[in-house]
């Protein structure tokens, strides 16, 4: 496979992924509207890397940890 073929195949796959993602999002919205699924939110703690903690602040991780919400599609 040469450069043009490879880049052409990459572009084709990216277009397919974009189209399928749009279809998935539409179907998810439909499932939620029909009551077949919901969005479930969970909280995840994020903080700097372990190497940073060991070097700078090994005992006060809570001060630098932040909470983020993670949205997950869940079937009912």
43-68 pLDDT, tens per residue?
Answer: 887 777 777 777 877 777 667 677 78
What pLDDT shows up at residue 61?
67
Do 22 and 41 reside in the same domain of the chain?
no
Determine if the pTM surpasses 0.75: no
Q: Is the dihedral of CA 40, 43, 48, 49 positive or negative?
A: negative
Number of domains in the chain: 2
Do 47 and 70 reside in the same domain of the chain?
yes
Do 43 and 28 reside in the same domain of the chain?
no
Q: Both tokens of residue 19?
A: 């189209």
Higher pLDDT, 37 or 64: 37
What pLDDT shows up at residue 50?
72
Cα separation, 48 vs 61, in Å, equals 9
- The domain in which residue 5 lies consists of 1-35
Asked whether 28 and 37 are in contact (CB, 8 A), the reply is yes
Do 58 and 31 reside in the same domain of the chain?
no
């Amino acid at each position: 496979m040469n450069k043009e073929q490879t880049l052409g195949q990459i572009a084709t796959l990216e277009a397919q992924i974009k189209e399928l993602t749009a279809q998935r999002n539409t179907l998810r919205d439909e499932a939620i509207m029909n009551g077949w699924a919901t969005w479930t939110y969970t909280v995840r703690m994020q903080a700097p890397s372990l190497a940073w903690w060991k070097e700078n602040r090994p005992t006060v991780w809570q001060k630098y940890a932040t909470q983020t919400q993670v949205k997950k599609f869940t079937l009912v």
